[in-house]
Amino acid sequence: MNLLPKILVALGSTISLGFGIWHFFVPQAWKWYAYIDRTATELVIAIRAINAFFSLSLILFGLVNILLVCGDRSNRYSIIVVLIATSILWLTRVVFQVICPQGSQFPGLQYGMLTAFAIVSLCYLFPLLSLLFQSPR
């Protein structure tokens, strides 16, 4: 893999890691549980579990992408598979942000989020397309 795709994957993965780490703190920062009935303890537990799973998934995908793309032990097939999975995840996030935008309570936030999600998606899509259209060695 050429240098530019490696840089793009490293950038997208670093941003993914940042989102993953940051998202562990989102429930407290945005006071998610203040909107939930205090007697709905199962709902609070479910939200905590989903958020932890989501946050950890972002971190793990970011690390796996960096290890595969920047390491010297991976093969083209494994890189393509992980880039496809990561691209689908981030493109889904872009679509959700377009259809049901989050961040509308602060002017410009929803567009900033959309821009960030689109940039991360492109950081994975360009290297993926580069690999797919490159002849195998």
Sequence ranges of the domains in the chain:
3-132
Which residue is listed with tokens 């793309």? 69
**Distance of alpha carbon 89 from alpha carbon 13, whole angstroms:** 13
Placement of tokens 């998934």 in the chain = 57
Distance (Å, whole) CA 93 – CA 89: 6
**One digit per residue, pLDDT tens: the chain, 137 residues?**
899 999 999 999 999 999 999 999 999 998 999 999 989 999 999 999 999 999 999 999 999 999 999 999 999 999 999 999 999 999 999 999 999 999 988 889 999 999 999 999 999 999 999 999 998 76
Could you tell me if 64 and 33 are in contact, meaning their C-beta atoms sit under 8 angstroms apart? no
In the chain the first and final C-alpha atoms are separated, in Å, by 11
Q: What is the pTM of this model?
A: 0.92
Query: What six digits make up the tokens of 66?
Result: 């960096």
CA–CA gap between residue 32 and residue 16 (Å, rounded): 22
